[in-house]
């Protein structure tokens, strides 16, 4: 068990991205005596603006680098006395994974292999791998628990499943102290616009329609980012080594209903009859999972439960978007462009 009262150096990969930056801010607030290293290659969906408040502080350090650069990663662990690793860096845009599956496998699986190998050689005291509920595949009935088999259905989740297997193999063979987390869809301030909630809010701000893939009947569980980072710290402090923890929420909403709700909350004087005027149905992705239900009882037993309701979380998210309309550069509507900009950058430290 890691002693949080001691001083530690924590490496967060993908720390300039959405989840990584929120995690770093939470770590800095909770453990002000710890040193935090942010490793990121500053791909299109990352920004150091996310962590401007930590610039110049003695306990925070940004390093520009790539998790897929083996020589760089080995040198990093040999020169920094790293105690804890939160591996958040990944390629995560599912639509892009169908176009470039080898790139996703390279970053998500090969990059994880390089990182966990270097961490093992450096005798890191805890390695936490941030995975996804998508490794389970879809279920229309029973929710998944941590013993459910992996059944990934797209290149992104397949690469994440492969990375999980690499990480857990170090526990099984060497008892290297790893923990894996699998979370629902995460949302909140500063999320890049390719994800569904910021994408719709950005389109509405530009007086454009929300592009709903397929029928829109597919539903997702949405977890506010502060609840996720709190779960990470619970796992860090109380998690059992070699275990997997689901980080989930009971709130579930069909994507078509999500689009209508965001329109209703952000467009002035819009009537219920006008909501669908703001929606445009577009071609679905090659494989569509209808839902990813899962239980988080194992994490609840450690004392964690989500605290931020959907009503409060989406209110905070909308408020941030209204106050920061130019935080991210505009990206094309999917009708205008099928691929996300910069998807051909290899070695991304992109986070959810």
pLDDT tens, position by position, 125-180: 999 999 999 999 988 788 999 999 999 999 999 999 999 999 999 999 999 999 99
66, 113, 134, 164: the catalytic one is 134
pLDDT tens, position by position, 51-91: 999 999 999 999 999 999 999 999 999 999 999 999 999 99
Q: What distance in Å separates the CA atoms of residue 321 and residue 323, rounded to the nearest whole number?
A: 5
40, 66, 113, 133: the catalytic one is 133
Q: What distance in Å separates the CA atoms of residue 206 and residue 202, rounded to the nearest whole number?
A: 6
This prediction's pTM: 0.93
Is 224 one of the catalytic residues? no
Q: What distance in Å separates the CA atoms of residue 228 and residue 305, rounded to the nearest whole number?
A: 10
Q: Which CATH number fits domain 9-190+224-250+292-308: 3.40.50.150, 3.30.70.360, 3.40.50.720, 3.30.70.270?
A: 3.40.50.720
Tell me how crowded residue 39 is: count the other CB atoms within 10 A of its CB: 28
pLDDT tens, position by position, 189-247: 999 999 999 999 999 999 999 999 999 999 999 999 999 999 999 999 999 999 999 99
31, 60, 136, 156: the catalytic one is 156
3-state DSSP assignment of residue 351: coil
If you ran DSSP here, which 8-state letter would residue 305 be given?
-
Which residue did the predictor score with more confidence, 88 or 345?
88
Is 134 one of the catalytic residues? yes
Strand order in the sheet with 60-64: 60-64, 35-40, 9-13, 84-87, 126-132, 178-183, 244-247
Mean pLDDT of the chain: 92
Q: What distance in Å separates the CA atoms of residue 101 and residue 114, rounded to the nearest whole number?
A: 19
Is 337 one of the catalytic residues? no
Kindly report the length of the chain. Answer: 352
């Amino acid at each position: 068990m890691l002693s949080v009262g001691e001083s530690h150096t924590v490496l967060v990969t993908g720390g300039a991205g959405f989840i990584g930056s929120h995690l770093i801010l939470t770590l800095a607030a909770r453990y002000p005596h710890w040193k935090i290293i942010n490793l990121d290659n500053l791909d299109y969906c990352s920004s150091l603006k996310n962590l401007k408040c930590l610039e110049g502080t003695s306990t925070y350090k940004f390093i520009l680098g790539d998790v897929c650069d083996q020589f760089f990663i080995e040198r990093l662990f040999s020169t920094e006395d790293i105690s804890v690793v939160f591996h958040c860096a990944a390629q995560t845009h599912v639509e892009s994974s169908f176009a470039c599956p080898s790139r996703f496998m390279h970053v998500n699986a090969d990059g994880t292999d390089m990182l966990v190998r270097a961490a093992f050689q450096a005798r890191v005291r805890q390695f936490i791998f941030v995975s996804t509920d998508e490794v389970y595949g879809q279920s229309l009935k029973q929710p998944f628990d941590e013993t459910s088999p992996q059944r990934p259905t797209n290149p992104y989740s397949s690469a994440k499943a492969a990375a999980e297997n690499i990480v857990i193999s170090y526990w099984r063979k060497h008892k290297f102290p790893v923990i894996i987390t699998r979370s629902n869809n995460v949302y909140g301030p500063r999320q890049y616009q390719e994800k569904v909630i910021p994408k719709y809010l950005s389109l509405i701000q530009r007086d454009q329609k929300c592009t709903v893939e397929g029928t829109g009947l597919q539903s997702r569980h949405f977890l506010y980012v502060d609840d996720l980072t709190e779960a990470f710290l619970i796992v860090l402090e109380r998690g059992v080594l070699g275990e997997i923890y689901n980080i989930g929420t009971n709130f579930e909403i069909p994507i078509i209903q999500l689009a209508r709700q965001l329109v209703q909350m952000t467009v002035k004087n819009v009537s219920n009859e006008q909501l669908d005027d703001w929606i445009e149905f577009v071609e679905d992705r090659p494989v569509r999972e209808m839902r990813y239900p899962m239980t988080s009882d194992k994490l609840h037993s450690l004392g964690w439960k989500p605290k931020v309701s959907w009503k409060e979380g989406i209110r905070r998210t909308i408020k941030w978007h209204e106050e920061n309309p130019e935080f991210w550069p505009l990206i094309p509507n999917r009708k205008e462009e099928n691929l996300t900009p910069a998807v051909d950058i290899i070695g991304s430290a992109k986070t959810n």
